[in-house]
Structure 1
Amino acid sequence: MSNTPESAWPVRTINTKIAEWLHKLGQVWVEGQLTQINRRPGTRTAFLTLRDPAADISIQVTCSPDLLTRAQVPLTEGARVVMLGRPVFYTGRGTVSLRVTEIRPVGIGELLARIERLRQLLAAEGLFDTARKRPLPFLPGTIGLITGRASAAERDIVSVARSRWPAVRFEVRNAPVQGPSAVPQILGHLAQLDADPHVDVIILARGGGSVEDLLPFSDEALCRAVAKATTAVVSAIGHEPDSPLLDLVADLRAATPTDAAKRVVPDVIAELSQIRELRSRSAGALRNWVTTQVRGLDSLRGRPVLANPFRIVDDRVDEIERATRDIRRDVARCVGSEEQRVDHLAARLATLGPAQTLARGYAVVQRVPGAASSSDEQPHVVNSVHDMPIGSQLRVRVADGATRAAVMGVEKKN
Structure 2
Amino acid sequence: MTQDGVAQTGAPANSAEQPYPVRSVAVKVAQWIERLGSIWVEGQVTQISARPGTRTAFLVLRDASVDMSLSLTCDPELLRRLPVPLTEGSRVVVYGKLQFFTGRGTLSLRVTEIRAVGIGELLVRIERLKALLTAEGLFDARLKRPLPFLPATIGLITGRASAAECDVVSVAQNRWPAVRFVIRNTAVQGPTAVPQMLEALAELDRDAEVEVIVLARGGGSVEDLLPFSDEALCRAVAAARTPIVSAIGHEPDNPLLDLVADLRAATPTDAAKRIVPDAAAELAGVRDMRARSAAALRAWVQRESHTLTQLRSRPVMADPLRELNHRHDELERLRTAARRTVEQLLRTESTTAGHLREKLTAVGPAATLARGYAVVQRVAGPERHVVRSIDDSPAGSQLRIRVADGAVTAAALGATRLTPESTDEKRK
TM-score using structure 2 length: 0.85
Q: Does 1:332 align with 2:336?
A: no
Alignment of 1:252-331 (within 5 A): 252-331=263-342
* Letter aligned with residue 391 of structure 2: H
SS at match of 1:391: coil
2:106 counterpart residue number: 95
Q: Does 1:63 align with 2:74?
A: yes
Q: Residues 104-129 of structure 1, C-alpha deviation per residue, up to 9 Å, x if partnerless?
A: 22223322332232223223322223
SS at match of 1:35: strand
1:204 counterpart residue number: 215
1:165–1:379 Cα change, 3 Å: same
Alignment of 1:70-219 (within 5 A): 70-219=81-230
Q: Residues 62-108 of structure 1, C-alpha deviation per residue, up to 9 Å, x if partnerless?
A: 12233323332222211111222111112233332101122222223
* Letter aligned with residue 96 of structure 1: L
C-alpha contact 2:186 2:197 (8 A) present in aligned 1: yes
SS at match of 1:379: strand
C-alpha contact 1:153 1:205 (8 A) present in aligned 2: yes
* Letter aligned with residue 187 of structure 2: P
CA drift at 1:404:
2.9
C-alpha contact 1:77 1:180 (8 A) present in aligned 2: no
Identity fraction in percent: 63
33-42 or 8-17, which moves further after superposition?
8-17
Structure 1 spans left out of the alignment, 5+ residues: 370-374
1:28 counterpart residue number: 39
* Letter aligned with residue 398 of structure 2: Q
C-alpha contact 1:207 1:257 (8 A) present in aligned 2: yes
2:376 counterpart residue number: 365
Q: Distance in 1 between matches of 2:180 and 2:49?
A: 43
Q: CA RMSD in A?
A: 2.6
Q: Does 1:396 align with 2:394?
A: no
Q: Distance in 2 between matches of 1:190 and 1:69?
A: 40
306-315 or 164-173, which moves further after superposition?
306-315
Q: Distance in 1 between matches of 2:246 and 2:152?
A: 19
1:292–1:93 Cα change, 3 Å: same
1:294–1:14 Cα change, 3 Å: same
* Letter aligned with residue 159 of structure 1: S
CA drift at 1:34:
0.6
Q: Which runs of 4+ in 1 moved over 6 A?
A: none
1:351–1:243 Cα change, 3 Å: closer
SS at match of 1:30: strand
C-alpha contact 2:64 2:192 (8 A) present in aligned 1: no
Q: Distance in 1 between matches of 2:127 and 2:406?
A: 143
1:222 counterpart residue number: 233
C-alpha contact 1:82 1:106 (8 A) present in aligned 2: yes
CA drift at 1:199:
0.8
2:383 counterpart residue number: 378
Q: Distance in 1 between matches of 2:115 and 2:365?
A: 153
2:410 counterpart residue number: 405
TM-score using structure 1 length: 0.88
1:107–1:324 Cα change, 3 Å: closer
* Letter aligned with residue 378 of structure 1: E
CA drift at 1:275:
0.9
Q: Match for 1:387 among 384, 388, 392?
A: 392
Q: Distance in 1 between matches of 2:271 and 2:145?
A: 16
SS at match of 2:154: strand
21-30 or 85-94, which moves further after superposition?
21-30
Q: Distance in 2 between matches of 1:95 and 1:257?
A: 46
CA drift at 1:171:
0.9
Q: Residues 371-414 of structure 1, C-alpha deviation per residue, up to 9 Å, x if partnerless?
A: xxxx4x32333233333333333333444444333334444435
Q: Distance in 2 between matches of 1:117 and 1:263?
A: 31
1:372 counterpart residue number: none
CA drift at 1:42:
4.2
1:399–1:262 Cα change, 3 Å: closer
* Letter aligned with residue 95 of structure 2: L
* Alignment length (residue pairs): 408
Alignment of 1:340-351 (within 5 A): 340-351=351-362
Q: Distance in 1 between matches of 2:343 and 2:403?
A: 42
Q: Distance in 2 between matches of 1:147 and 1:337?
A: 112
SS at match of 2:82: coil
Q: Distance in 2 between matches of 1:155 and 1:402?
A: 142
